[in-house]
Amino acid sequence: MSKKIRMITFDLDDTLWDNVPTITKAEVETRKWIENKVGKIDWGDLNDFLNLREELIKEDESIKWDISKLRKEIFRKKLAHITPEKYRNKIVEDAFTVFISKRHEVKLFDGVETALKQLSKNFVLGVLTNGNADIFRFGIGKYFSFSVSSLEAKNSKPNRAHFDKAIKIMGDIKIDEILHIGDHQVNDILAAYDLGIKSLWFNNNESIWNQNFPKPDEFSSWKRLPEIINNKYG
Ligand SMILES: [Mg+2]
């Protein structure tokens, strides 16, 4: 396997920022926005959400990977009592705009910007995300050459579609010239491992490795990332 890498791909959620507070705040504020328009809504619990998701996937397979559509359709179900339909659909679209804007109010982990700036001088940087954050809505977007979301891949990691799309976009980059970086043991690290792609595991909460293949090198601080990559692949 070549020691040299030319391209680094990054997961976004929980790799560049802490996603739970981001999504929770976006969710709470969007619900508030909707209730200001139409009054109290019974939002249900996580189980209701999962059942609703299953139901929606049965009607429309694309909801599996189109999480923006999933969110809109859940709003539409919760607003089923609002008429006329045209008004309901307008609230759904506007609520989604509120949500997606809040969803981009992230706090980058310490050192992210500096590390990306430095790495972008020597490597092609790309994004491979299962989420619907758009890297090009952030200032740090300027360090990236491309981004592949689940919507674009029409699939989710750990399936290989994101990686295939990245390779297609970059054309002349070989599989053993890629390094993938992410927090998720399966969606990021197993996905890369299955394809023979090198990986680094972002582990900032002292998680235990519980996969049945070798753990790649891990890091817990972005401040150390350029040095780790330089030592290993420079
Ligand atoms: Mg992640």
pLDDT score recorded for residue 234: 78
Q: In angstroms, rounded to a whole number, what is the distance separating the alpha carbons of residues 234 and 232? A: 6
Count helices and strands (H / E) in the chain.
9, 6
Indicate if 92 and 48 belong to the same structural domain: yes
Q: How far is the CA of 201 from the centre of ligand 1 (A)?
A: 10
Same domain, 36 and 138: no
- Residue 185 has a pLDDT of 98
Asked if residue 5 lies in contact with residue 179, where contact means CB atoms within 8 angstroms, the answer is yes
Quote the CA–CA distance of 156 and 149 in Å, as a whole number.
8
**How high is the pLDDT of residue 2?**
53
**159 and 86 within one domain:** no
Instruction: Say which CATH number the domain at 97 has.
Output: 1.20.120.1600
Whether residue 146 contacts residue 166, with contact meaning beta carbons closer than 8 Å, is answered with yes
Distance 87 CA to ligand 1 centre (A): 36
State the CB neighbour count (10 A cutoff) for residue 111. 14
- Can you list the residues of the chain whose pLDDT is less than 70? 1-2
Residue 121 lies in domain: 7-17+106-233
Segment 179-213, tens digit of pLDDT: 999 999 999 999 999 999 999 999 999 999 999 99
Statement to judge: residues 206 and 120 lie in one domain: yes
pLDDT confidence of residue 82: 96
How many whole angstroms from 14 Cα to the centroid of ligand 1? 5
Distance of CA 41 from the midpoint of ligand 1 (Å): 30
DSSP state letter for 210: -
CA of 49 to the centre of ligand 1 (A): 21
136 neighbors 147 (Cβ within 8 angstroms) = yes
Tens digit of pLDDT for each residue in 211-220? 999 999 999 9
Residue 84: predicted pLDDT: 97
The span from the CA of 158 to the CA of 227, in Å, is 27
pTM for the whole thing?
0.95
- Residue 40's pLDDT is 97
How many domains, in total, are found in the chain? 2
